[in-house]
Amino acid sequence: MNSGDNILPSGNHPPRILVFDSGIGGLSVLAEIRRKTPGCDLVYALDNQAFPYGTKDEEALVVRVDAVLRALINRVAPDIVVVACNTASTVVLPRIRAHFNKPVVGVVPAIKPAALHSRSRHIGLLGTPGTVQRLYTQKLIDDFAADCTVVRVGSAELVEIAERKLRGSAPDSARLEAILAPFFATDAVDTIVLACTHFPLLLPEFQRVAPRTVHWMDSGEAIARRVESLLPAGTAALPSLPRFTAILTASNPDAESLIFGLEAFGCHRVDYLSVHH
């Protein structure tokens, strides 16, 4: 099926949407989907066994994400798959779309809307080390922001800080300030792209430490709109399902505090999936 087609739920259940990330970042996307289409059956899968993705090389990432998504699709039988991870989306989407006959929605850095929004023509790009140096990202810049100066910051530490925040530990403001400093080295940058789904979860802290007001741009709402456009018309009238199931790829000592954070986000059940790759 073409990913632009409207879909019907398979069987007699509300549309089931699988939202996938390496860690907790995709929750920022899940929250937007839940806000727009609260009647959908949401399954949140995170690859905590192979986390983090942002420092992996492209080949290893493609093999891993392909294996995990195949196993997840078999287990969950979703109507739509949302790859809620910029790092994965920028390398694996064509491969996943080739073997899944339902829509696959990916997240790509919001460079185009940022370029449309920026008056100063200086934009910041904050992603994982993988995303900020990827060819895919460079192509987005060439296509949509060729007349902008782009300040890039790739941070794996920020991903860890977001993970720890969900597990209950408050981000260290001095560290955040230091990581964001390149954007504020001059007065020029007026728009910053949050090109990692973990980062909207730190937005209140970013706003607090930023030395001046800038526009922070992420892709969550656009993804939720895309998902909504793929759903059958009656979906908006379905009774809301505020709770969701989570699937983890590893059960380890960290999983307990992770599950605690997921529950606070509305998760009511945790399953495990083992993937050998």
Residues noted as catalytic: 85, 196
Cα torsion through 124, 127, 130, 132, rounded to 10: -10
Considering only 87, 118, 137, 219, the residue that binds ligand DGL (CB under 6 A) is: 87
86 binds ligand DGL (CB under 6 A): yes
Count other C-beta atoms under 10 Å from residue 74's C-beta. 9
**Cβ of residue 51: shortest distance to ligand DGL, in angstroms?**
5
Rounded Cα distance between 264 and 260, Å, is 6
Minimum distance between the CB of residue 5 and ligand DGL, rounded to whole angstroms?
26
Residue 191: both structure tokens together: 């728009």
DSSP for residue 277: -
What is the smallest separation between the CB atom of 43 and ligand DGL, expressed in angstroms?
Answer: 17
For the record, the structure tokens of 12 come out as 């007699």
The smaller minimum CB distance to ligand DGL, of residues 14 and 113, is found at 113
Beta strand segments in 155-194, E: 191-194
Q: Which of 46, 76, 196, 214 touches ligand DGL by CB under 6 A? A: 196
Interaction of residue 131 with ligand DGL, rule CB under 6 A: yes
Instruction: Return the closest-CA partner of residue 103 out of 247, 246, 227.
Output: 227
Smallest distance from the beta carbon of 197 to ligand DGL, in angstroms?
Answer: 4
Residue with smaller CB distance to ligand DGL, 87 or 191: 87
Closest CA to 266 of 45, 31, 15: 31
User: Between the CA of residue 206 and those of 55, 64, 135, 202, 240, what are the distances in Å?
Assistant: 22, 31, 27, 6, 32
Binders of ligand DGL among residues 213 to 232 (CB under 6 A) are none
Angle at 185 between CA 222 and CA 216, to 5 degrees: 15
For ligand DGL, which residue of 128, 137, 219, 249 counts as binding (CB under 6 A)? 128
Question: Token pair 């949302």 is at which residue?
Answer: 82
- Residues within window 149-188 making contact with ligand DGL, judged by CB under 6 A: 159
SS3 sequence of 86-105: HHHHHHHHHHHHHHCCCCEE
Kindly tell me which of 115 and 158 has the beta carbon lying closer to ligand DGL. 158
Q: In terms of CB distance, is 159 or 192 closer to ligand DGL?
A: 159
Please select the residue that binds ligand DGL; options are 16, 134, 198, 226, rule is CB under 6 A.
198
- Nearer to ligand DGL among residue 84 and residue 150 (C-beta): 84
Residues 15-54 that bind ligand DGL (CB under 6 A): 21-23, 25, 51-54
Contacting range for ligand DGL; rule: CB under 6 A; set: 31-39, 111-119, 145-153, 193-201: 193-201
- Residues near ligand DGL (CB under 6 A) are 21-23, 25, 51-54, 85-87, 128, 131, 159, 196-198
